[in-house]
């Protein structure tokens, strides 16, 4: 009788040990899958995945690769174009390793995947005003612009060409202060983004053209 009890205890311990071992493996697998799911789709501002910029475009006589980025999500969808690599309207900030496409408008949908251009501000001559996210989205292109210092270079590209600017202003402004995006006689570029934990403020970077 005693031997049976001892044998039962031994087998019970073995079974419990195996169950604990299996449970640990399952928990580790769950944590791995959870982290993978949480990180899925996140795009580091320094190393962006081109695929998130792929949008379906409508039929055109020209090649798909040459279609403008405004022709997206149309009724007749026959192909895809990577607006990250095909868009010639861009902003580059070498110090931050930023190379981002620009589209017209600063609505939520515009800023979801690109830097947005303030409608009404200049596109070439004058003050080019742009807005972008810095956190909480897949495309946080302006994530680190607050670290820019005077003299840092910003490059602005359009079909007309490329211009280089040097930072002269990096400061917080009231969200209602729009004077920094008003047009100017000289050529400059203005970057606007939110400021963490300060809803009533915006981060403003302004740079003037270097000739």
Cα distance from N-terminal residue to C-terminal residue, the chain = 98
| CA separation for the pair 175, 31 (Å, rounded) | 41
Q: Establish whether 117 is a catalytic residue.
A: no
Q: Over the stretch 98-148, which tens digit does the pLDDT of each residue have?
A: 999 999 999 988 888 899 999 999 999 999 999 999 988 878 999 999 999
With 60 as the cut, is the pLDDT of residue 66 above it? no
Residue 165 tokens read as 């600017």
Is 194 marked active-site? Answer: yes
Is the Cα torsion angle 143, 148, 153, 158 positive or negative in sign? positive
Of 51 and 30, the structure prediction assigns the larger pLDDT to 30
pLDDT at residue 52, rounded to an integer: 36
Give the mean pLDDT of 88-105. 94
pLDDT of residue 24: 83
Q: Single out the catalytic residue among 117, 139, 194, 204.
A: 194
Q: Is a pLDDT exceeding 80 seen at residue 42?
A: no
The CATH architecture one would assign to domain 87-209 is Beta Barrel (2.40)
Among 117, 133, 139, 204, which one carries the catalytic annotation? Answer: 133
Using a pLDDT cut of 90, give the percent of the chain over it: 48
Mean pLDDT over each residue of the chain, to the nearest integer = 77
Per-residue model confidence as pLDDT tens digits over 151-204: 999 999 999 999 999 999 999 999 999 899 999 999 999 999 999 888 899 999
pLDDT given for residue 82 in this prediction = 52
Q: Please report which residue ranges of 55-205 form alpha helices under DSSP H.
A: 83-86, 108-111
Confidence of residue 80 (pLDDT cuts 50, 70, 90): very low
Which whole-number Å values give the CA distances from 199 to 130, 140, 193, 194, 196, in the listed order? 19, 17, 11, 7, 7
Could you state, in order of their start, the residue ranges of all structural domains in the chain?
Answer: 45-86, 87-209
- pLDDT score of 65 more than 50: no
**Which helix (H) or strand (E) covers residue 126, if one does?**
none
């Amino acid at each position: 009788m005693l031997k049976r009890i001892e044998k039962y205890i031994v087998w019970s311990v073995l079974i419990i040990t195996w169950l604990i071992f299996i449970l640990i493996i399952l928990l580790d697998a769950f944590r791995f899958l959870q982290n993978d799911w949480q990180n899925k789709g996140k795009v580091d501002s320094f190393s962006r995945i081109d695929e998130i910029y792929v949008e379906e475009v409508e039929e055109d006589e020209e090649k798909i690769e040459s279609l403008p980025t405004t022709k997206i999500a149309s009724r007749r969808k026959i192909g895809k174009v990577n607006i990250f690599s095909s868009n010639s309207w861009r902003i580059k900030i070498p110090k931050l390793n930023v190379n981002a496409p620009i589209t017209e408008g600063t609505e939520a949908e515009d800023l979801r995947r690109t830097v947005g251009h303030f409608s009404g501000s200049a596109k070439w001559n004058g003050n080019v005003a742009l807005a972008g996210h810095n956190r909480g989205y897949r495309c946080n292109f302006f994530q680190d612009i607050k670290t820019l210092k005077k003299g840092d270079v910003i490059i602005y590209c359009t079909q007309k060409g490329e211009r280089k600017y040097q930072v002269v202003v990096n400061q917080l402004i009231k969200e209602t202060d729009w004077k920094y995006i008003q047009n100017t006689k000289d050529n400059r570029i203005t970057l606007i983004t939110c400021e963490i934990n300060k809803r009533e403020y915006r981060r403003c970077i302004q740079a003037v053209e270097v000739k």
